[in-house]
Amino acid sequence: MKKREYNCGLDAAVDVVGGKWKALILWALHAAPRRFGDLHRNVQGISEKMLIQQLREMESYGLVHREVYHQVPPKVEYSLTEFGVSLNTALIPLGEWGERHRATIEAIPRD
């Protein structure tokens, strides 16, 4: 996130959820809390570094809660806060749109 002032709500929302991974991570957390390794397996293609970086950012935004269990080997669970749930809910129609038009989107030529 770069800006502090926005022209409209969508501007602000895209700034929060933009980037390659945030929406996917949010999505992966929608059903239940997940451990770090679990998320790593679930969000395909993400590196450990990126995963943590994004989780930390979202934690600082108040979207995600981080729960540490003091065990060895360590266990850390991530879950959505209420704020995170509300964002996830707002993303549902966009996800459905993407699902509905997936073939079209994948067929768009790029170079």
Partner DNA sequence: TCAGGTACTTACCTTAATCTCAGTATCGGA
Partner DNA sequence: TCCGATACTGAGATTAAGGTAAGTACCTGA
Rule CB under 7 A: which residues touch DNA? 2, 19-21, 35-38, 45-50, 52, 56, 66, 68, 72-76
Shortest spacing between CB 90 and DNA, in angstroms: 20
Nearest CA-CA partner of 84 in 27, 3, 21: 27
**Could you identify the residue written with the tokens 């850390």?**
76
Q: Tell whether residue 62 is a contact of a copy of itself (CB under 8 A).
A: yes
Q: Which one of a copy of itself, DNA, none interacts with residue 111, CB within 5 to 8 A by kind?
A: none
From the list a copy of itself, DNA, none, which binds 13 (C-beta under 5 to 8 Å, kind-based)? a copy of itself
Under rule CB under 8 A, residue 74 binds a copy of itself = no
Amino acid (1-letter code) at residue 63: L
